[in-house]
Amino acid sequence: MWKAHNSELQLLNPGIHGRKQKHEIFIRWTAPPYLWIALNTDGAAKRSPGMTGGGGILRDAAGIFIMAFTAHFGRCNAYKTELLALELSLQNGY
């Protein structure tokens, strides 16, 4: 009886029972204006807080790779890691 009830609930609301519904979005890189360079940075944490790292990539207006960098930031939270990746790029004049 409970299995039938739970199956019915699952059909009516697939997001229950702690399962997250997947929602995909498409993100597209946008080229910078002519003669400009785009800097994209990212940071990642194994857990938050946890071991972290980050980096970035530079591309020209045609999307051509210029350079990339990575770094290990040690143990911190995911938000700080994102900022550290940006800070590293600014400190190095990227």
Q: How, if at all, do strands 37-45 and 65-76 pair?
A: unpaired
Element (H, E) at 81: helix 78-91
pTM reported for the whole predicted model: 0.66
Q: CA 81, CA 50: separation in Å to the nearest integer?
A: 10
Mean pLDDT of 52-79: 95
* Superfamily designation of domain 29-91: Ribonuclease H-like superfamily/Ribonuclease H (3.30.420.10)
Q: What is the pLDDT of residues 20-60, one digit of tens each?
A: 778 888 888 899 999 999 999 999 999 888 999 999 999 99
Burial of 22 (C-beta count, 10 Å sphere; 0-12/13-18/19+): exposed
In whole angstroms, what is the distance from residue 76 CA to residue 85 CA? 12
Token pair, residue 82, equals 């994102």
